[in-house]
Amino acid sequence: MKEARKRAGFTQEYMASLMHRSRSSVVKMERDQQAIEVNDFVRWMKLTNAQDLMVAATLGMDITTLQPVIEVLSKLVTGLIILL
């Protein structure tokens, strides 16, 4: 979650305001010291435009493992769209 926030260029304070939470709550969520509801997790990832990280976390994968797969799938889909 921290990676998603940082990649989006958000501070903890800004993320807290978007999530309607306290800054300390954001810190605890990022450190896995506080449980997060699924809908809050999905919202966090959407707000930070980190759906790739959401998929990786859901599958229990590291993003570095998932990134090449996403790139190949993206090329395949683009190729199919061009053919149609």
**Domain of 28, in residue numbers:** 2-83
CA distance 52 to 34: 22
- The pTM (predicted TM-score) of the whole model is 0.69
The tokens for 59 are 């599958």
CATH number, domain at 33?
1.10.260.40
User: pLDDT at position 81, please?
Assistant: 80
**Is the backbone of residue 34 left (phi > 0), alpha (psi -120 to 50) or beta?**
beta
Domain tally, the chain: 1
Query: What pLDDT is recorded for position 59?
Result: 79
Nearest to 15 by CA among 60, 50, 56: 50
Q: Judge whether residue 5 has pLDDT over 90.
A: yes
| 7-51 tens-digit pLDDT | 999 999 999 999 999 999 999 999 999 988 999 999 999 999 988
Q: pLDDT per residue over 59-81, tens digit each?
A: 777 766 767 777 787 788 888 78
